Structure 1
């Protein structure tokens, strides 16, 4: 699929699960999207145990903002002093009304969601929520990530299914993920697709296939090989 001249439209499955019209894939698990986020992206990256002042998270696929909000709660509960940086690369930003509707499925996130929803509706893509500095970089990550001037301590790889959105899982892009990772940087993703794991290994990550969330048997996580 070409990533040019596309705009996201959200369909709703069973009245409550947001599904991308471009990729025909749900934004989060219909079973419990928040639990999935915590299992895959937080636990998969060893968070919140690794948090510290200046910790930097980067993400492929901002979607509903669910991963950001789960991270924000984990950061606050950990009582970490200082600031956290959260950068997400998103080609097709979700309309504000759809984001509001999607996040309404998680009442425990409402207090954290309000500042996100306000900023999003105002068209802001760089903003702060408490001590978390957020930047959503809009555009094709194959173009925007190479120009990013930072390196992440942890990556959330959360594009749509590799079978439906292969552009976001290419070997070249995984090499950019590695190039933009700090020493000892980690990644976690819900997918265990072979070509994704091989691409990450080629890029320099030590890759582990581990237990997935819910009905998914496996997911992937890894750490950047210090010898690279």
Structure 2
């Protein structure tokens, strides 16, 4: 990760990282952890679906908060099998910045410490849980991936500020890399995103969002 272009940040209140490139915060200004649980954990019907070799795909790794949240949920549920988390990130955050941002979430501190140590050492296999960070433009890296996800966390910056992460071609690739009866969830309910997911083979539902966001999107691959 250290040889790749890194995220350029500003800090709000010393704890909330804001992307200079996309002028967008990395997590909810209300409660980033609660938003992750509502959108990505509940939105993909987890942890009930865990078992076997469960594969999660993510667009936009950011601080790693989503990974830490699902890792915590997976462990606390006593889930069987293994968990593989593959995330696609064009501008990885410096490890020191990631560590600083995650201090805002003491609930995941034990998992954050393990992740930071693993990233520092270049070893991101944590027993039955594996983190795979794919660095580069996801429009190029996802088509080359052999990932077949059981669940997707679609967590790029907002469609208005980061349209490349939400285009129809990329959503089609998400569909092609989703197992039958796999799911996807995202905080956005933008019409063009929902239509792109439908065209990619998903049954799409608009549901209640978190905090100030009235709606979010859930999708089921048939």
Checking the alignment, whether the CA contact within 8 Å between 1:157 and 1:187 is kept in structure 2 is yes
> What is the distance in 2 between the residues matched to 1:50 and 1:6?
36
- Runs (5+) with no aligned partner, structure 1: none
Q: Does 1:159 align with 2:156?
A: yes
> What is the distance in 1 between the residues matched to 2:17 and 2:134?
22
Partner of 1:26: 25
Q: Does 1:42 align with 2:49?
A: no
Partner of 1:65: 64
Shift of residue 118, structure 1, vs aligned partner:
1.4
> What is the distance in 1 between the residues matched to 2:74 and 2:29?
25
Partner of 2:143: 146
Q: Does 1:171 align with 2:168?
A: yes
Shift of residue 6, structure 1, vs aligned partner:
5.4
Partner of 1:118: 117
Checking the alignment, whether the CA contact within 8 Å between 2:8 and 2:20 is kept in structure 1 is yes
Is the partner of 1:47 in helix, strand or coil? coil
Partner of 1:101: 100
> What is the distance in 2 between the residues matched to 1:219 and 1:62?
19
1:100-152 CA-partner distances (Å, limit 9, x unpaired): 11000011211101121112234x3x621232111000000000000101200
> What is the distance in 2 between the residues matched to 1:200 and 1:82?
29
Counterpart of 1:198 (choices 184, 195, 198) is 195
> What is the distance in 1 between the residues matched to 2:72 and 2:78?
10
> What is the distance in 2 between the residues matched to 1:10 and 1:115?
23
Is the partner of 2:26 in helix, strand or coil? coil
Shift of residue 63, structure 1, vs aligned partner:
0.4
> What is the distance in 2 between the residues matched to 1:48 and 1:171?
29
Query: What TM-score comes out, normalization by structure 2 length?
Result: 0.96
Q: Does 1:183 align with 2:180?
A: yes
Q: Does 1:223 align with 2:216?
A: no
Structure 1 stretches (4+) deviating beyond 4 angstroms?
A: none
Is the partner of 2:40 in helix, strand or coil? helix
Checking the alignment, whether the CA contact within 8 Å between 2:6 and 2:94 is kept in structure 1 is no
Q: Does 1:10 align with 2:13?
A: no
Is the partner of 2:199 in helix, strand or coil? helix
Shift of residue 80, structure 1, vs aligned partner:
1.2
Is the partner of 1:55 in helix, strand or coil? strand
**CA RMSD after TM alignment:** 1.2
- Runs (5+) with no aligned partner, structure 2: none
Partner of 1:133: 130
> What is the distance in 2 between the residues matched to 1:48 and 1:163?
31
Checking the alignment, whether the CA contact within 8 Å between 2:50 and 2:80 is kept in structure 1 is no
